[in-house]
Amino acid sequence: MSNKTIRNAGVVIAATAALALAGCGRTGPSGSGMMGNAGGYNYSRLTCAPPANLHGQVVTVTLADMNMQRMMGGTAPLGARMMLRAAPVTIQSGQVSFGAENFGWRTHELVILPLGPDAESGQRTPGADGKVDETGSLGEASAKCAAGSGEGIPSGAVGWVTVTLPPGTYELVCNLANHYADGMYQRVTVVGSGR
Mean pLDDT of the chain: 80
For residue 90, pLDDT over 90 is answered with yes
* Top-confidence residue, 55 or 8: 55
What does the pLDDT average to over 186-193? 92
Note the pLDDT of residue 57.
95
* Top-confidence residue, 129 or 1: 129
* Cβ contacts of 83 within 8 Å, gap of 6 or more: 15, 41, 62, 63, 64, 65, 66, 183, 184
Return the CATH number of the domain spanning residue range 3-191.
2.60.40.420
What does the pLDDT average to over 95-105? 94
pLDDT digit string, tens, across residues 16-73 = 333 333 333 333 223 333 344 445 555 667 889 889 999 999 999 999 987 655 556 6
